Amino acid sequence: MTRALRLWIAVGWVGVLILPWYAIDSSFWYFDWYLKYDGDNAPTAHQIFAQGRWYLAPPVLALIAAMPALFMHRDSRRLSRLLVAAGIAGMALMLAEGAAIDHRGWSWAWLQALMGGEGPKQPGMGYGALVLAAAFLMLMCQGLAALGWCRGDAFIVSAVALVVALVGVFVFFPVFEVLLSALQDDKGNVALVVFFEKFLDHSVWGLDCLNSSLRCGVAWNTVFLAVVVGAGSTLFGLAFALIATRTDFPFKGLLRVMSVLPIITPPFVIGLAMILLFGRSGVVTGFLNEWLDIPRSRWIYGLQGVAIAQLLAFTPIAFLVLIGVVQGVSPSLEEASLTLRAKGWKTFNTVTLPLIRPGLANAFLLGFVESMADFGNPLVLAGNYEVLATKIFFAVVGASHDQGRAAVLAIILLGFTLVAFYAQQMWLGKKSYTTVTGKGDAGLAVPLPSGLRWLCYAAVIPFALLTAAMYVTILLSSFWKTVGRDYSLTFEHYLTGFKVEWGERGLYFGGSAWNSFWTTIEISAISAPLTAAIGLLTAYLLARQKFAGQRAFEFCTMLSFAIPGTVIGVSYILAFNVPPIELTGTGVILVICFVFRNMPVGVRSGIATLSQIDKSLDEASLTLGAKSFTTVRRVVLPLLRPAIVSSLVYSFVRAMTAVSAVIFLVSAQYNMSTAYIVGRVEAGEYGLAIAYSNVLILVMLSAILLIQFLVGERRLGRRQPQQAMVVVQAGG
């Protein structure tokens, strides 16, 4: 504790004496502040003594109050209480100072009256405040660990506090800001009558579709679609996982590529490809009309079209979650069932299927939540079938501009997510699903029953063929001169976006898409490892630790995932457009948005994998004297490689393809690829938009292969079929 205490006190003084207290105008990523220590670029000490900003002093006094802890006995309860008090006081004083003064002066009217005048003005907090806040948080955690929290394990206490703080600042705070407007009228006054009128509106909860030709309410439409997509994506994902791990299908690699392709494509591109294939003037529709005399129709628009598009988009998520879970099933348990003369179907139903229930539950929950939050596919294909995501979008950016209605609909969406989360917990119960223990397991994975194998083939092969047809259409349409009219081949679209010339100073990237392309690569490369790290750390805490409020904390990690990206974008603008945390227009807000928007996939994938790993492995490491951090690094992480791959892949490609949230957060300096593509679609330049999408698909495929190469595969010490044949021959 003494070493950690000295470290965090030193970190706190670095934030006070060296780093600039306020945010740098150029950007969070630039470090030109060290060239001049004046104005807002100066550290806290300079701000207080040279510029007379006395209101910055209270947090520094809290750090000074923690200094006597360096000279106390490390087992003293006075030391522990001092650290807890100093940490809490420091964070509270920073919060109060940041909330009391903004860019216009005193934030509250009573402060203006008390102080007489508008008061001082300040921009958002910067490096110095960030580092000092982290020091206060860790000092508090050191004190709580010394008081016996989490069995006195400082690493666990610090990890829980860090995740809680991050989720609180970057999930709860923005959501609170936007949902607060649900209880307010247009003038900002609390109006509960207006709230209940919007909440109970017939267009939301109506059931007219049950007894007439009228449509049901948007809430029931959304739930029905989410249940269909959640169940369908889980079944398709399981079929892909079983074929990839339990069969000798000769085209496994191709099937895995086909299952991953939809996840690395901007959602509106999938919708556009479906329209090009099955729309009224689509290729397949025209073929059926000319050769089979089937009349043209608009069947693709509505529930069926959105459901197909979402199944194509979200099945890969279920596959990425389930493949690690299926691999983790102990073959010795299945072999024991066969030894007791159980048939293949009986073994699968009574042994394999129950052991993969955590994966099935997590895959369904992710598919359900993804469907409810999806914006791109319903926008393109829903037609008259309204869902909550698009209703919220049009409430925010439509002619009515009813932010309160958008907030009310977001509350309804959160309620459905809570119900799905609770149902998942009830279905799993308190049963054990451990299959990876410290004991050796040389069993062979049991082949699938022939009926189940052919059923998986029947589901997966048409899915893969449809995916292949869509991507052939996407590829070819990028070379058509004018999509839908002139099908002559040309490279014009690629040259417009990605032209490279040799100028006087060397290579010149003259294409109009290069700026957004490099920005997207930078933001995605930064956010992916952060997303995986925070998500898997949260999964470890939820699956391996016990602390008060654990269930509520687990649901809160799903909060940002449940809310449509449009609401997330608006909430971030409301929360981070003014001090104390001023991030709009920077690359940091994009990274933060992606990290906490995509973190739940890492959490659910990690929980599903950890539920199969026996806790005795952790306990053995701790018994041998290893610290918790060493145990996580040396024991848990190698067994979490499937979850690491799925989290890295998902977070990277989602950052590359996200539309709804970033459309509100991009700026001239930080423009993302999807925002550029949407602009081209709005301008009618479909060829350029699809060409850009093809480039993104190629980049993301390369990134996926690189991630799998760098992370590697989990090794469980099991025999391969070839090894078993050698053993049998040698014994014979």
Q: What is the DSSP string of 346-397?
A: HHIIIIIHHHTHHHHHHHHHHHHHHHHH--HHHHHH-TT---HHHHHHHHHH
Domain boundary among 418, 453, 485: 485
Residues 536 and 429 in one domain: no
- Report CA Rg, the chain: 28
Residues 546 and 640 in one domain: yes
Residue 120 CA to its chain's centroid (Å) = 39
pLDDT surpasses 60 at 537: yes
Residues 476 and 576 in one domain: no
Residues 520 and 642 in one domain: yes
Percent of the chain having pLDDT more than 90?
A: 18
Residues 462 and 517 in one domain: no
Domain boundary among 147, 166, 192: 147
Distance CA(47)–CA(53), nearest Å, equals 6
Mean pLDDT computed over 225-251: 90
Assigned domain for 530 exists: yes
Distance CA(169)–CA(109), nearest Å, equals 25
Q: Per the structure, how many domains does the chain have?
A: 3
pLDDT surpasses 90 at 35: no
pLDDT surpasses 60 at 722: no
Assigned domain for 644 exists: yes
- Residue 555's pLDDT band, with cuts at 50, 70 and 90, is confident
Residues 119 and 226 in one domain: no
What residue has token string 């609770």? 422
Residues 449 and 312 in one domain: yes
Assigned domain for 726 exists: no
Percent of the chain having pLDDT more than 70?
A: 89
Residues 59 and 128 in one domain: yes
Residues 522 and 418 in one domain: no
Mean pLDDT computed over 565-587: 83
Distance CA(91)–CA(85), nearest Å, equals 10
- Residue 730's pLDDT band, with cuts at 50, 70 and 90, is very low
Assigned domain for 155 exists: no
Name residue 10's amino acid. Answer: A
pLDDT digits (tens, 9 = 90+) for 432-445: 544 544 444 555 66
pLDDT surpasses 50 at 500: yes
Query: Is the Cβ–Cβ distance between 11 and 128 less than 8 Å?
Result: no
Query: What CATH number corresponds to the domain at position 622?
Result: 1.10.3720.10
The average confidence (pLDDT) of the chain is 81
pLDDT surpasses 80 at 276: no
Assigned domain for 721 exists: no
Distance CA(446)–CA(338), nearest Å, equals 9
Residues 442 and 515 in one domain: no
The pTM for the full model equals: 0.77
Distance CA(1)–CA(16), nearest Å, equals 23
Assigned domain for 10 exists: yes
pLDDT surpasses 90 at 229: yes
What residue has token string 């806790």? 615
pLDDT surpasses 80 at 628: no
Query: Is the Cβ–Cβ distance between 657 and 674 less than 8 Å?
Result: yes
- Residue 464's pLDDT band, with cuts at 50, 70 and 90, is confident
- Residue 1's pLDDT band, with cuts at 50, 70 and 90, is low
pLDDT surpasses 90 at 249: no
Residues 129 and 270 in one domain: no
Mean pLDDT computed over 55-65: 93
Assigned domain for 187 exists: no
User: By mean pLDDT, which of 34-38, 214-218, 615-619 is the weakest?
Assistant: 34-38
Per the model's pLDDT, the better-predicted residue between 479 and 506 turns out to be 479
Using CA atoms, how far residue 649 sits from 137, 602, 626, in Å, is: 31, 10, 31
pLDDT surpasses 90 at 574: no
pLDDT digits (tens, 9 = 90+) for 313-346: 888 888 878 887 888 777 777 777 877 777 777 8
pLDDT surpasses 70 at 482: yes
Q: Would you state the structure tokens that stand for residue 573, as one six-digit string? A: 């603008």
- Domain hosting 559: range is 492-711
Q: Would you state the structure tokens that stand for residue 379, as one six-digit string? A: 């926008």
- Residue 516's pLDDT band, with cuts at 50, 70 and 90, is very high
Mean pLDDT computed over 590-602: 87
Using CA atoms, how far residue 517 sits from 26, 510, 512, 684, 720, in Å, is: 21, 12, 10, 20, 43
Q: For residue 318, give the 3-state DSSP assignment.
A: helix
Q: What is the DSSP string of 676-720?
A: HHHHHHHTT-HHHHHHHHHHHHHHHHHHHHHHHHHH---------
CA end-to-end distance (rounded Å), the chain: 61
- Residue 732's pLDDT band, with cuts at 50, 70 and 90, is very low
Percentage helix, strand, coil for the chain under 3-state DSSP, each rounded to 5: 70, 5, 25
The CA-based angle 548-554-555, given to 5 degrees, is 115
Assigned domain for 107 exists: yes
Domain boundary among 120, 147, 174: 147
* pLDDT for position 445: 67
- Residue 660's pLDDT band, with cuts at 50, 70 and 90, is confident
Residues 300 and 407 in one domain: yes
